[in-house]
């Protein structure tokens, strides 16, 4: 069973339906015991970094996330769920992230481009392409909604990049940890393929 963590940060139902459509055995939960017993964990989210960390810590779900990762369970962070893996965010300077990866979350610089970055954009797959992008062509398009982007200190875990005024990290992979800045649940066939690829990792 895949535990889809409910910490009050939106887009749960669309993620749940997408995983179900791909054949996943998935349960929406905020119960630490259910998360601990799950075979894999998905951390979605839309909204403010500080609120996300607050809601996670209030129910000790932050500990469940880091413990699942420590146990090497397949983990998938989506949008805010990816950003929370970092050490800090400019969106909430006094709030510590989960610190799974070294680096932070930065706001897009001022430019002629609108912020938030919203809509379809193509991604460039890296040479260390992960299992998350099996059967996905380079430069495929995915759906983004975000004003902040991940700046990762370890270049080796960057699985895909995207360009919006600057090049930024679109996806991370490290062992059984997978994360995307884009929303696979809103990215039609390509997004569903990404979800299927994660399910294949869980079932392997």
- What pLDDT digit, counting tens, does each position of 15-30 carry? 999 999 999 999 999 9
Percent of the chain having pLDDT more than 70?
A: 98
pLDDT per position as a tens digit, 69-109: 999 999 999 999 999 999 999 999 999 999 999 999 999 98
Average pLDDT, the chain: 94
What is the structure's pLDDT at 125? 95
Q: Which one of the listed residues 22, 79, 152, 162 is annotated catalytic? A: 79
Residue 98 CB-density burial (10 A; 0-12 exposed, 13-18 middle, 19+ buried)? buried
> Per-residue confidence at 115, pLDDT binned at 50, 70, 90?
confident
- Minimal CA–CA distance to 150: which of 198, 75, 79? 79
CATH code reported for the domain at 2-203: 3.40.50.880
pLDDT per position as a tens digit, 159-188: 999 999 899 999 999 999 999 999 999 999
> Per-residue confidence at 127, pLDDT binned at 50, 70, 90?
low
Q: List Cα–Cα distances, 10 to 4, 6, 16, 78, in angstroms.
A: 12, 8, 11, 11
What is the structure's pLDDT at 128? 57
Q: Which residue has the higher pLDDT, 126 or 2?
A: 2
Average pLDDT (47-51) is: 94
Is residue 185 part of the annotated active site? The answer reads yes
- Minimal CA–CA distance to 194: which of 78, 81, 45, 83? 78
Percent of the chain having pLDDT more than 90?
A: 88
> Per-residue confidence at 10, pLDDT binned at 50, 70, 90?
confident
Is residue 87 part of the annotated active site? The answer reads no
Q: Give the bridge partners for 144, in sequence order.
A: 119
Q: Which one of the listed residues 55, 117, 146, 183 is annotated catalytic? A: 183
What is the structure's pLDDT at 49? 95
Q: Which one of the listed residues 117, 146, 162, 185 is annotated catalytic? A: 185
């Amino acid at each position: 069973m895949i535990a889809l963590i409910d910490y009050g940060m939106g887009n749960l139902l669309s993620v749940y339906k997408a995983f179900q459509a791909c054949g996943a055995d998935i349960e929406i939960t905020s119960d630490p015991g259910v998360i601990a017993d799950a075979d894999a964990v998905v951390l979605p989210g839309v909204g403010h970094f500080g609120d996300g960390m607050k809601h996670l810590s209030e129910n000790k779900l932050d500990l469940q996330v880091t413990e699942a990762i420590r146990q090497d369970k397949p983990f998938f962070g989506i949008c805010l769920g990816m950003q929370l893996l970092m050490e800090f965010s400019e969106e909430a300077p006094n709030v510590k992230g989960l610190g799974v990866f070294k680096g932070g979350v930065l706001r897009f610089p001022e430019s002629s481009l609108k912020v938030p970055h919203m809509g379809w954009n193509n991604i460039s797959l890296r040479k260390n392409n992960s299992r998350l992008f099996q059967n996905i062509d380079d430069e495929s398009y995915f759906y983004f909604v975000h004003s902040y982007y991940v700046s990762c200190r370890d270049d080796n875990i960057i699985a895909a990049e995207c360009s919006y005024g600057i090049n930024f990290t679109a996806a991370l992979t490290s062992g059984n940890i997978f994360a995307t800045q884009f929303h696979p649940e809103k990215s039609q066939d390509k997004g569903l393929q990404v979800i299927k690829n994660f399910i294949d990792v869980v079932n392997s």
